Chain A
Amino acid sequence: GENVEQHPSTLSVQEGDSAVIKCTYSDSASNYFPWYKQELGKGPQLIIDIRSNVGEKKDQRIAVTLNKTAKHFSLHITETQPEDSAVYFCAASRGGTASKLTFGTGTRLQVTL
C-alpha cells in the first residue's frame, strides 16, 4: 500500500517568514495530493490540493509543488501570520472507486511574533 512520509514534525518560524513542509510518497500510481490544516480541537480542513498532471499550484500565500519523478511534494507558506499556526497534513491518493487518502504524520507549525 501507499506510504507517505512528512517532514519536519515541528516547525517554528517568525511572523513574515516562509515555511516549507515536505512529503514523499511510495506509490507511483498516486495522482492526487491534498494538504489539510487542523486547528486545535477541530477537524482537518483542505487548504490546497494538486493533481499529478500539474507541477505547481498557488492560492494567495500558499503554494504546493509536485515532483512525480522523485515522488515528493511540498507545501510553501509565504508571509506567515499567527493564524497559520496549526498542524498540517499531507496526503496521497491513487483514485479509483473511492478516494482513500493516505496521510502523513503531520507537521506542527508555530508562527511566533
Chain B
Amino acid sequence: NAGVTQTPKFRVLKTGQSMTLLCAQDMNHEYMYWYRQDPGMGLRLIHYSVGEGTTAKGEVPDGYNVSRLKKQNFLLGLESAAPSQTSVYFCASSAGSGGGETQYFGPGTRLLVL
C-alpha cells in the first residue's frame, strides 16, 4: 500500500495562474482533508470531505476549491494563485466516523507563488 500520495511534490506559479493538487489514498478511507502548513502556524484545515461527492469548508477555505469525484481522490484547486498561498500543502485521510480516527498524511506539496 502506498498510503496517501500527493502530486506534484513542488510547483512554482506566477500570480494569477491556476493549478490543481492531486491527493490519492489506497486505504479505502471515507474522510479526506487538505491542510496548509506555514511557519509558526501549525497545520490549518482548508477543506475536507466526509465521503465521495461531498466537500465542506475548513478553517481557511478562501481562494481554494475542492472536488471528491472518486472516493480515493481529493483535488485541491487554486483558480487564481496569490503570493499568500505560498505554503506547504498536506493531504490526509481517515477511516471516518468521529473524532477518534487517525489521520494519515501524505508527503506534502511545496507551492511557491511569485
Contact = CB atoms under 8 A, between A and B. Distances in A.
Interface in B41-69: 41-45, 48, 50, 56, 58-59
Which among B33, B41, B44, B102 has the greatest number of chain A C-beta atoms within 10 A? B102
A46 B102 contact: yes
Interface residues of A, number: 32
A51 B100 contact: yes
A31 B59 contact: no
Interface in B69-97: 90, 92, 94, 96
A34 B104 CA distance: 12
A97 B50 contact: yes
Interface stretch (A12-20, A63-71, A100-108): A100-108
A17 to B, nearest CB: 25
B21 interface: no
A66 to B, nearest CB: 14
Given A42-B108, A43-B106, A99 B100 contact: yes
A98 B31 contact: yes
Given A32-B100, A43-B107, A103 B94 contact: no
Nearest to A89: B42
Contacts of B59: 1, 102
Contacts of B103: 34, 46, 99, 101
Interface of A: 1, 4, 6, 9, 30-32, 34, 36, 41-46, 49, 51, 89, 93-106
Given A43-B105, A45-B105, A99-B99, 20 more contacts: A4-B42, A31-B99, A32-B100, A41-B108, A42-B108, A44-B105, A93-B99, A93-B100, A95-B98, A95-B100, A96-B98, A96-B99, A99-B96, A100-B48, A100-B58, A101-B43, A105-B41, A105-B42, A106-B40, A106-B42
Interface of B: 4, 31, 33, 40-45, 48, 50, 56, 58-59, 90, 92, 94, 96, 98-108
